[in-house]
């Protein structure tokens, strides 16, 4: 999916990005501190040009342990340099004492009382270097970095979710409709999740578009474009944050907490501006809480095509608007490099942030 709406208004003329081990670094932030004692060996690993699965295959071949015996919090991409924590029972510790591999380094080893499981991470810290950046473009980049660090960004699913040809979601829809059969359960679930992700991105694009309307148009123009009641437009327009909340939105405390319906726009918009709550979007499926009111009307319009498939999917909510932490950036004029570092909550894509910064889709 290619986005039509970006936060910044001016595209960068020249900035080269390559997802290599020097210019793209991901450091996993664990959910908790490891105790230093227990039944499980915790390996703090660094890899380059390997997927997490490829690294675990090397560990399996080295130790004799089955790949399913290793614990990890999440999968990391092949491209770039990434660090993450991997657990294995302490009975295999000796196999890693003199471990050596050209693309994998064990940075540290300690112990903990339980196996690492999927989701056991707070988030990731990213380093990104852009090259061939002109001074004029560096100024644009600095301005949009400042805006994102202050106001947040739309939490789209990244292009990685949709496959090389961008058609994973279409295959997922075909599986759900019965037009296609997929025997591999993991591949089937992945393709269906791509379909859910596509619908989420379409809904989020529409909500970003509405928010940009409020940034650009006056009240009469908004009435003409949105066909909303004048009092509703006035109530939404006075919100301080860019992404506008609507009555009936499903919000959630940030960075974690319970979901609730937005019923008081004045109160909740202030809390969102203070980064204490955020709005969530629907991942189509049964049992997930649905938006109501005006927010529900927009949600139902976007997700109408999935209504007959809901009982075939596990539904949930996903943060629609995210915030970065500890955003740092600088321009090295002699090298023509623009470097940035920031932390994101789990499940977020650094490439999505980068697309907002560069004002272009990276899969083009």
- Distance CA(284)–CA(317), nearest Å, equals 9
Q: Which of 69, 77, 167, 363 is catalytic?
A: 77
User: Which residue from 363, 342, 348 is spatially nearest to 128, judged by alpha carbons?
Assistant: 342
Q: Which two tokens stand for residue 299?
A: 């949600």
- Compute φ and ψ for 201, nearest 5 degrees: -65, -40
CA angle 93, 95, 99 (to 5 degrees): 110
Copy the structure tokens of residue 353.
Answer: 């942030």
- Cα–Cα distance list, 169 to 163, 174, 301, 326 (Å): 9, 9, 18, 34
Residue 260, Ramachandran bin (φ over 0: left; ψ between -120 and 50: alpha; else beta): beta
**Could you tell me the two tokens for 231?**
């009092």
Alpha helix ranges (H) inside the chain: 52-63, 135-151, 168-177, 185-216, 219-226, 230-237, 265-273, 293-302, 350-358
CA-based torsion, 176, 178, 184, 185: positive or negative: positive
Query: Which SS3 state, helix, strand or coil, does residue 28 take?
Result: strand
Catalytic, 77? Answer yes
| Positions marked catalytic | 77
């Amino acid at each position: 999916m290619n986005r039509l709406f970006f936060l910044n208004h001016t595209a960068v003329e020249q900035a080269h990005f390559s997802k290599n081990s020097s210019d793209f670094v991901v450091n996993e932030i664990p959910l908790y501190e490891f105790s230093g004692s227990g039944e499980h060996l915790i390996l703090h690993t660094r890899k380059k040009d390997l997927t997490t699965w490829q690294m675990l295959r090397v560990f399996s071949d080295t130790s004799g342990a089955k790949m399913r015996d290793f614990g990890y919090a999440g999968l990391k991409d092949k491209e770039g340099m990434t660090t993450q924590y991997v657990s294995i029972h302490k009975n295999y510790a000796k196999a890693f004492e003199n471990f050596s591999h050209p693309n994998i380094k064990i940075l540290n080893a300690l112990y903990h009382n339980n196996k690492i499981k999927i989701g056991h991470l707070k988030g990731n810290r990213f380093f990104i270097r852009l090259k061939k950046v002109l001074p004029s473009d560096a100024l644009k980049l600095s301005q949009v970095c400042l805006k994102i660090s202050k106001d947040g960004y739309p939490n789209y699913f990244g292009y990685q979710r949709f496959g090389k040809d961008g058609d994973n979601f279409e295959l997922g829809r075909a599986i759900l409709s019965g037009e296609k059969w997929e025997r591999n359960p993991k591949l089937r679930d992945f393709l269906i999740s791509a379909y859910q992700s596509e619908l989420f991105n379409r809904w989020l694009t529409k909500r970003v578009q509405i928010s940009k309307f409020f940034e650009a148009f006056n009240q009469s123009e908004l009435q003409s474009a949105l066909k909303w009641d004048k009092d509703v437009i006035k109530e939404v327009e006075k919100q301080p944050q860019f992404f506008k909340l609507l009555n009936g939105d499903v919000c959630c405390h940030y960075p974690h907490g319970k979901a609730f319906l937005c019923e008081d726009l004045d109160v909740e918009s202030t809390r969102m501006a203070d980064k204490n709550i955020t709005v969530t979007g629907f991942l189509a499926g049964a049992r997930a809480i649905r938006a109501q009111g005006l927010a529900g009307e927009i949600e139902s319009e976007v997700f109408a095509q999935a209504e007959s498939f809901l009982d075939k999917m596990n539904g949930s909510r996903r943060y629609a608007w995210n915030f970065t932490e500890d955003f740092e950036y600088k321009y090295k004029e002699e090298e023509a490099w623009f470097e940035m570092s920031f932390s994101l909550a789990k499940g977020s894509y650094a490439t999505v942030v980068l697309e907002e910064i560069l004002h272009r889709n990276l899969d083009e």
